[in-house]
Structure 1
Amino acid sequence: MSEPEHPSPEPLTPEHFSDAEIPLPESSPPLQGERIAFTGTLASMTHQQAFEMTEQQGGTATQHLGRQNTMLVVGEEGWPLEEDGQPSVKIQEAADLLHIGHPLRILQESEWLQLIELQEPDQESHKLYTPAMLHKALDVSVNQIRAWERRGLIKAVKKVYRLPYFDFQQVAGVRRLLLLLNSGISPTQIESGLRKLESIFPNVDRPLAQLELLVHDHHLLLRDGIGLLEPASGQRFFEFNPSDEDSATEDDESTITFPTESDQDKFSSDNPDVLFQESCRALDSNQLDQALWGFRQAIQLVPTKAEFHFHLAETLYRQNNLAGAIERYHTTVEHDPYYLEAWTQLGCLYAEQNRHPEATRYFQAALALHPDYPDAIYHLAEVLQQLGRHSEAASHWQTYLHLDSRGPWAENARQSLQQWEEQIKGE
């Protein structure tokens, strides 16, 4: 005997329920229930601002690290090493907690920013910085950053028309190591401190390799109470009457120093690439006359090499020869119209001379090649503001903030935008 058939129930739809019967779930703050401590220098904000942000996102910020903590955030402006080269107290405490099995999460600053949705995880460009951006953020000269790249201390993550983009923490790490070395901390002490980070940071091999390169770089001399010391060999160097040499230079500002015969012997190669590398080393050592001579010799051998002209322009600029630098930057883009940094440098030099209409054209030329070039966007906004074209400047400030929301330039961009908005309201 067959079972009686029952009609199929009518499918349920949202109309069957009232809002009172099915309350919409409210999302919890991303840091709810978390007790968070911070260590190291934060690149995006101060520790006080991070505390306030933690509270706003439902968490509890603590000055000290203990068993009640669930998270430790490590700042990305250099490795978390103290002035003695050893890990910070909180890092050592975190290692102890992990050793006994305490469930402590350790996040890099950028990971924490992603967690509270202040940084998009899929926008890699937000983590990459041009040499000029790093100069502003870390107070390291663009020339120094280029020198570090040439010596293998840092490596560009990507290049756009010769323009290198670097990982912020990689460059900040080198800066931190140099500060420790220059303060007199021995390489052995720093290595010991880095080794203690291995249980927490799996990529500690990178700063160890950077440290080795720094120590074995023959240009590195450390100053202590006695004089200058080369850490690789322990050899000591003494300065003889440096004040006398300085005063002699100041007394005769009109004197132009040319490389001596022995200096020129160092650049006696007929290979233009060898000449170029030797000249770059002279430039890194601030031996500008030698660098100038070497770059000119390389150009005589290969007149069409854009990179040779660009570095000659850089040398001339550092010698305060603006007219000569501008001419060589022009020659650079004549030989390579895609040399982004040369276009931007031309814009900066014209802006430096208050020739803002010309500067605008060169920044626009750079952006025609690379529309997301942060340096050119920022400088173009500055020039447009000087020209009184405030609405156009505001548009570029906004574009810049989309690309870089964390650095010192970003703060300047926000202030300029705020001033423009207040001006609009007052009209």
Structure 2
Amino acid sequence: MADDAHDEPAEADAIAIQRLYTPAMLAELVGVPVAAIRRWERQGTLQPVKVVRRLSHFDFEEVGVARRLAQLLAAGCSLRMVDRRLAEIARLLPDSPRPLADPRVVVEGRRLFLRLGDDLAEPGGQLLLDFDESSLADNDEAPVTISIAVGQRAKQSGNGDALQALIGQLQQEAIDWEDEGRLDRAAESYRTLLMAAGPQPEFHFALADVLYRANDLSAARERYYSALEIDEEYVEARASLGCVLAETGELELAAATLEGALQYSADFADVHYHLAHVLDRLDRPAEALEHWRTFLDLAPESPWAAAARDRLAAAGRGD
């Protein structure tokens, strides 16, 4: 009886995990950069249902919110414009703190509508906000740059409130430069942020992500290492490091790094997926197949599930 009582919660947890999406999975599912998912999470627009060792998990309700955000991006809205307009919508709907999670709100192109009446399927609605060309042009100013010297002075001043305000400004500046596609300036902002805030693993991770997107894999690798030196249980940093090592051809080290991530989070489906790829490249097919199967068990509805099923089918045919 004791064993049965122990197994039931574990089985329930496994079923629940199958219905959750990591940031990378969610980004792939809705077709946006993973940096956008992390940005919306930081701002509270997306809310994870659980966070394990800094790794966020989102449920299907958040998939719906992410799809609406992705629709706005696909229609030509910038990330900063979406941020600003969502703040305005929140003021228009004070009873709905998360408008894009409100089923009454409908996205059509750059426009947001509020359904009228009790029947949400009823056609027609009230226009809430129009993300038109003029509003985009009027409000998309370039980010303001804060120098490293300013960050150093704020840290040395001993004024805690001023330092926290500066840290917030620097975070927003880095995000804005990312939105502009100026990854070099975003990296500079994150370095200034680290100078002001001190070594924080999440800031090293954010800088590593920007450097990776800028194709500076060597520098990205070092920043992922820096994040892990501060927090060895930062599983998303460990997984990202493994992927970078795989891209640079360091397959044995990549496999060891990804296996290390699983020691901290055995249910991290993304890691099983990437590790399976690495093991296939290392010509270790039996081990790879175990991870392909585990990945599908954990994330059968993942946007990567089809690739995993194809690989298992090929193995069954002896390809």
How much does 1:303 deviate? 3.4
Gap regions ≥5 residues in structure 2: 1-11, 77-107, 155-162
How much does 1:265 deviate? 6.5
**Pairs within 5 Å for 1:12-411:** 123-176=15-68, 178-179=70-71, 182=75, 185=109, 187=111, 190-192=113-115, 196-197=119-120, 222=131, 228-230=133-135, 237=138, 263-264=145-146, 268=150, 270=154, 271=163, 273-274=167-168, 275-411=170-306
Q: Matched residues, percent identical?
A: 35
Q: Does the 8 Å CA contact 1:360/1:383 hold for their aligned counterparts? A: yes
How much does 1:138 deviate? 2.1
Separation in 2 of the partners of 1:285 and 1:266?
20
How much does 1:155 deviate? 0.4
What is the Cα-based RMSD across aligned positions, in Å? 3.4
Amino acid at match of 2:115: S
Amino acid at match of 1:376: V
Bigger Rg over Cα: 1
How much does 1:193 deviate? 7.1
SS in 1 for 2:27: helix
Q: Does the 8 Å CA contact 2:21/2:58 hold for their aligned counterparts? A: yes
Moved more, 282-291 or 318-327: 282-291
Separation in 2 of the partners of 1:279 and 1:341?
20
Amino acid at match of 1:360: A
Q: Does the 8 Å CA contact 2:148/2:195 hold for their aligned counterparts? A: no
Per-residue Cα deviation, 1:61-89 (whole angstroms, up to 9, x for no partner): xxxxxxxxxxxxxxxxxxxxxxxxxxxxx
SS in 2 for 1:179: helix
- Which residue in the other structure is 2:99 paired with? none
Per-residue Cα deviation, 1:93-142 (whole angstroms, up to 9, x for no partner): xxxxxxxxxxxxxxxxxxxxxxxxxxx89821121100111122222211
How much does 1:229 deviate? 3.3
Separation in 2 of the partners of 1:401 and 1:392?
15
**Higher RCO structure (Cα 8 Å, ≥6 apart):** 2
Q: What is the TM-score of this pair, normalised by structure 1?
A: 0.54
Whichever structure has more helix as a proportion of its residues is 2
- Aligned residue pair count: 259
Separation in 1 of the partners of 2:215 and 2:115?
43
Amino acid at match of 2:145: D
Moved more, 286-295 or 328-337: 286-295
Change in 2 beyond 3 A, CA 1:191/1:325 = same
Moved more, 286-295 or 338-347: 286-295
Q: What is the TM-score of this pair, normalised by structure 2?
A: 0.71
Q: Does the 8 Å CA contact 2:41/2:47 hold for their aligned counterparts? A: yes
How much does 1:378 deviate? 0.6
How much does 1:192 deviate? 2.7
Separation in 2 of the partners of 1:325 and 1:121?
34
